[in-house]
Homo-oligomer: A and B are copies of this chain.
């Protein structure tokens, strides 16, 4: 296998987050499922936007956040995702490139607008996401650049891509290219509701095509339809070669057929906004993995990145993660 130019190429929905604070009562009034992502259509997002308070716009998107994190650690990374050539598309592209991620997917010049997600953050820091996908799933016109995928140690795919047929096809195409080039394929389960929607396909994929799996407790439990976390861990151990499970303030668990390693979370003074916690954990883990660190150190890099991103609003790092990692003796 030849030397790879990129540590990781991420493929996912290209989204700008519209972040606003609200209380739990507001979520109930709007019938929103706290802590989850729901897909919404144009009229619904307009109604919800009109109902929320003042907002802040920050680039987001699960896999894109992970790529931003890897770049901040000093890794070489590329992102494949679809935006329109509109204001939000320009913001998304700028922010990704500005942090050092290669991003060359052709912008759409007509049709649907760039995706956006109304992210409602409650006082406990939990985020509830309402995503309008717009042009984002349209990854079916040669956007999957085989040369980049072949040139990346890991192709990292977000489960959210399964929510639309064109995006799912792109996902499958990318996974195939990576595998045929002898590269690793990594998946994040994204959201428990998303797992519910695509359980059978996710299970087959994990058994046959995924080298590195990321999920949180709720997602892995949803996958195996069990409320028993240990049972889910035992099952994933036989289904996947390498799994990293995040458990919020209880840290994370790295599972291989040989062993399970528990890693503590890094405590933060105050959780401001959990958006991006899982994405940044994956960023740290994959940066460690692709630079030859042990699973333990990789998981610690994941915890570090997650602790940074939940200390402020928005799902991308504000601090330079390479500096943070050096200051913590991790690299």
Binding site for B on A (CB under 8 A): 20-21, 49-50, 52-59, 68, 86-88, 91, 94-95, 98-99, 314, 316, 318
Q: Check A98/B57 contact, CB under 8 A, given A86-B87, A87-B86, A87-B87.
A: no
Considering the complex, give the chain B residue whose CB is closest to the CB of A89: B87
Residues from chain B with Cβ under 8 Å of A318 in the complex: 21
Residues from chain B with Cβ under 8 Å of A91 in the complex: 55, 57
Residues from chain B with Cβ under 8 Å of A57 in the complex: 56-58, 91
Considering the complex, give the chain B residue whose CB is closest to the CB of A87: B87
- B68 and A99 contacting across the interface, CB-CB below 8 Å: no
Residues from chain B with Cβ under 8 Å of A314 in the complex: 56
Residues from chain B with Cβ under 8 Å of A53 in the complex: 98-99
Give A68 to B55 CA distance when docked, in angstroms. 13
- B59 and A54 contacting across the interface, CB-CB below 8 Å: yes
Residues from chain B with Cβ under 8 Å of A316 in the complex: 54
- A94 and B56 contacting across the interface, CB-CB below 8 Å: no
Residues from chain B with Cβ under 8 Å of A54 in the complex: 59, 68, 94-95, 98-99, 316
Ordered nearest first, which 8 A-B pairs have the shortest CB separation?
A: A57-B57, A87-B87, A54-B95, A54-B98, A53-B98, A56-B58, A54-B99, A56-B56
Residues from chain B with Cβ under 8 Å of A98 in the complex: 20, 52-55
Give A324 to B57 CA distance when docked, in angstroms. 25
Give A50 to B54 CA distance when docked, in angstroms. 27
A121 to chain B, nearest CB (A): 11
A225 to chain B, nearest CB (A): 39
Residues from chain B with Cβ under 8 Å of A56 in the complex: 56-58, 314
Give A94 to B18 CA distance when docked, in angstroms. 12
Residue picked from A57, A58, A316, most chain B C-beta under 10 Å: A57
A81 to chain B, nearest CB (A): 16
Give A273 to B238 CA distance when docked, in angstroms. 51
Considering the complex, give the chain B residue whose CB is closest to the CB of A50: B94
A142 to chain B, nearest CB (A): 26
A95 to chain B, nearest CB (A): 4
A51 to chain B, nearest CB (A): 9
Give A20 to B94 CA distance when docked, in angstroms. 12
A271 to chain B, nearest CB (A): 16
Residues from chain B with Cβ under 8 Å of A99 in the complex: 53-54
Residues from chain B with Cβ under 8 Å of A59 in the complex: 54
Give A94 to B53 CA distance when docked, in angstroms. 8
Considering the complex, give the chain B residue whose CB is closest to the CB of A19: B56
Considering the complex, give the chain B residue whose CB is closest to the CB of A52: B98
Considering the complex, give the chain B residue whose CB is closest to the CB of A49: B94
Give A49 to B91 CA distance when docked, in angstroms. 10
